[in-house]
Structure 1
Amino acid sequence: MKEKEKIALFIDADNAPAAKIDTILSELARYGVVNIRKAYGNWKSPCLKSWEDVLHEFAIQPIQQFDLTKGKNATDIALVIDAMDILYTRDVDTICLVSSDCDFTPLVTRALADGKFIIGFGERKTPSAFVNSCSKFLYLDDIDADEKPVEIKKPSIKSDTKLINMLRQAIEASEDDDGWAHLGTIGKHISNHASFDPRNYGFKKLSDLFSAIDLFEMKQKNSSGTYVRDKRRAKFG
Structure 2
Amino acid sequence: MNIAIIGYGKMGKSIEKIAKIRNHQISFFSNKSPCNISLKNADVAVEFSCPDSAFNNINICIENNIPVVCGTTGWLEKFHLIKDICKKKNGTFLYSSNFSIGMNIFYEINHKLSKLLFPYSINYEIKIEEIHHKEKMDRPSGTALVLAKNIINNKMKKTWILDKKKTKNQILIISKRLDNETGIHRVLYQSKIENIEIKHQAYNREGFATGAIIAAEWIKDKKGIFSMKEVLGI
The TM-score bracket by the shorter chain reads 0.3 to 0.5
Normalized against structure 2, the TM-score is what? 0.38
- Name the larger-Rg structure: 1
Task: Work out which structure has the larger RCO, using CA pairs closer than 8 Å and 6 or more positions apart in sequence.
Answer: 2
